[in-house]
Structure 1
């Protein structure tokens, strides 16, 4: 979304959350056409189910996503951290704030109203009685030169739910397929960050591998190189999932990634319909090994500091700088991308090391 063109704070629309009923001009139960009319003038992208019915409408200029059930009727609304509308619940501002501050305000409001607060899968407050599940994202700012850049702060967004999804927002339904939470960096009950001196030191060879891992390894070879560690999670997909296809009934599950929480890395595999082969490695920001590139410490530092170091390195050596849609960046021709990892209220650096033709998100 073009948040840098967002209206001044005092001119942004103020939406009020009416728990389990609606938010701003949107009411749960609306049809897709009614939602579009309520947000008249906003540009919309529609994700559809196999049968052609809308599963969600994404209003990127507003930072708003609407989710629909199979009827289709509005079941939930996501407001991202850089959204145009401000959203208030009983006087508590929910959007674009420091996560710990919103947490404190919601717990105090819940105490006064006698409702239960739980933690959701991103480690943020969730209140079924209000249909609120908080979220966080990356804060962006402007450099003195005028271009946009990532900061080292996490700020809040929110998923607002109708009664059908309030108890289990990420269960079966339209939200689960959309969720922005990365499984390899999911909240595990603590935001504890491993001290730098307690992390092992790994070398990296751009486009070839990192530490003991070499691109082209099989999943068994990756596990063996990591001392026989058993993956804490295996991520993958079925071809043609959700699509009518004569091949769907025979579709084989394809391994996409192995998460190794003990080492603090995720191994990503390519190979399409062939045998999976190591094509990228994400080194986790909170727990992963120490790695340097051109004298720059890549892992576990304030994100903005590493971004600045990488940009300076590229400029001094007249290198190109590759930047993904998510803002991850790295020197051209290295297959290295600096990524963001949340640690409570701050964003730390992590890095992904890739083969030459890896398609980075």
Structure 2
């Protein structure tokens, strides 16, 4: 998702439905300075985002210099918490523009009328990440990353055990007690992994999860516990060489010999796309549109891998060397229609909780 994305492997992402306030309050009135002093054009634009949003200071300063706007950032938890807050405050929005609603929550925000129409010119390649169905005219794709099963290649080589390659393999006896996964009710990557299993197994997904648990899969509250504590390649003393992480993770386990010690299983991935949108009823809609345009700029798109550990949606920017070599993206990741997620999320999570708590 430090305050940088969990995929940077520094902080757990949580996908609880609770509405915990971040350190920066989302409330508060508009100052005279922010509203333009004499009630004219606002000089402040407020970006509401998740707690993992981070871009280099020089990019923010350049945006402010180019536009004459002061960019204020207000953190609101992870993608799920952010979406909940935006829905609850839709009649009195706490900012002008939002970033960080992803495809697992987008339909809820769209259905609730959180965002106003704005369709900027997309950079090359970004159209492939547009929100399917309703909402493409209010939400703009900014970045993408896929949640994938990762393995410790070094561990499997030392144990002379062939590593798994698919979701089905994870329930086989050969991999008993080797898999750790963040929970679907408490973690964004955990929810994404659940959706991958639903996409693969359809109505039989619950049986698959029963087999996983019977095979000794371990649940954690969040990604950081799974990757940094239990995973053997997470930098700690873990004892599980299979973990749910990201397609970008192998770029962060590069060894001193020009290789990487982990791999992402590209046939297990669920793609997450993060969007930006102008909030309906924004105090500064013009400034909000400028923020969306800025997030699509070459400068910001090129900064995303090192700043937030996600892939840019623009195919025109060059990836960092380690990313280009080791962070392979799946060609056909699992997908679930956002409308289907919206209609079934609560029921799926209740059933998942029942299975995993037996």
Structure (1/2) with the larger helix percentage: 2
Q: Which has the larger radius of gyration?
A: 1
TM-score normalised by length of structure 2: 0.30
Q: Compare the two structures and name the one with the higher strand fraction.
A: 1
Q: Which has the higher contact order (CA 8 A, sep 6+)?
A: 2
